[in-house]
Amino acid sequence: MRKLILVLTIVLPLSSHAQISWDEIDRLAADAQPQVVEWRRWFHQNPELSNREFNTAARVTEILVGMGLEPRTGIARTGVVAVIEGGKPGPLVAIRADMDGLPVTEETGLPFASKARGEYKGNEVGVMHACGHDNHMAMALGTAWVLNEVKQELPGSVMLIFQPAEEGAPEGEEGGASLMLEEGLFAERKPEAVFGQHVGINQPGGQIAVRAGPLMAASDRFKMVVKGRQTHGARPWNGVDPIVVASQIVLGLQTIESRQVDVTKAPSIVSVGRISGGIRSNVIPDSVEMEGTIRTFDAEMREQIHVRIERTARLIAESAGASIEFELISGNPAVLNDAQLLDRMMPTLKRVSGDRAVADVQPQTVAEDFSLFVQEIPGLYFFLGNGLPGVDPATLPSNHSPLFDMYEPSLEMGVRALSHLVVDYL
């Protein structure tokens, strides 16, 4: 007798919200691209110096309000923060973009080139988005628009951070990431992770570059006065020559990273950028002023180098009968990409890059106060090449150049990358 086999088909109801597709994100990013370019050009044409980003903040706020968001303003003077509340329960993640320009007079000749002027250290200067922050803001806003369009399907929420004074607050003022955190940026709601990107940094056009661990250096400054004893230049034995002592100190400082710390552990740089002393060829002055920068990647080495700079300079001066006054100005720590977060999100970056491999970039000796956010929460920061694809980036004007520019079609890549990172994480 044949057995009758009864096959039951069980139809399960669909979830109340469909999952966000990668194709949908890409379509929205493409739709946003013309507006992102328009925003970028407005920011580029209207740059403002650190802690003076009043019109910039007003424009960012206006755009976010136009999306139906409710931004908070005046954080760390001119910072703007908004949250896209997802339609499903889930964690909070953050996107950060910096807002300030530099005291650089633009020479690009672009039709939307900056003609802005500002005051820097008491001098009237040209102002330019010579480090690409105009692009960072535009891409963050484009990402906000994409995510806001699919917010009902988002299993979590997104904090949008528009940060002032990344290039450093004016002397005597506080600002930047440190002030935003001090004023309670994460006090009420702390994100699980923070994402950010930087254009340029000598990367091929349109290429994403990233690495785990140290990505950008810690940056500190020092000031030093070498104090000797003034005398006639024809009778140097009657005084103590601070110019000769300062010269010996400059050479002595170069032995710190080459002879006094473990060079196999991490690279480091000590550079003297300013020396000032004397007013006449035949007068040995009383003192010489020096200023320099310190770049490190390892926290322990950073502390060692700080101690060794002062000790080396002081002992060299004392050997010649001179003395020093030394001041260390601590800056930003190194930007450290969270290794587990990068491992989790690397498939996303590879997918967004398509047939262009994600570059494993070497640590960069430039600095960024995004580092302060990643001291609070895991962070992922990556580079996006600013030039025309296929052109050697070494032949292009670098960040902080009066000729720095952005190949605007690559802005869509930046919007896609941030949008995919957020959606995949959530």
| Among the listed residues 381, 338, 345, the one whose alpha carbon sits nearest the alpha carbon of residue 361 | 381
Buried b (16+ CB within 10 A) or exposed e, 306-335: bebbeebbbebbeebebbbebeeeebbbbb
Could you say which DSSP state residue 410 is in?
G
What DSSP letter does each residue of 203-247 carry, written as one string?
PPTT-EEE-SEEEE-EEEEEEEEEE-B-EETT-GGGSB-HHHHHH
Could you list the beta-strand ranges (E) of 99-246.
117-120, 123-126, 155-163, 193-199, 208-210, 213-216, 218-227, 231-232
* Token pair in block for residue 259: 């002879």
* Token pair in block for residue 107: 């020479």
Quick check: is 166 catalytic? yes
Catalytic annotation, pick one of 53, 166, 338, 405:
166
Interstrand relation of 88-98 and 79-84 (parallel, antiparallel or unpaired): unpaired
Radius of gyration for the chain, computed over Cα atoms and rounded to the nearest angstrom: 26
| Among the listed residues 400, 410, 407, the one whose alpha carbon sits nearest the alpha carbon of residue 167 | 400
Helix/strand/coil for 96:
strand
Catalytic annotation, pick one of 98, 100, 257, 298:
100
Give yes or no for a contact between 372 and 332, defined as CB atoms under 8 angstroms apart. Answer: yes
User: CA-CA distance, 373 to 376, in Å (whole number)?
Assistant: 5
Residue 331 CB partners (closer than 8 Å, separation 6+): 168, 218, 219, 220, 221, 367
Active site residues: 100, 166
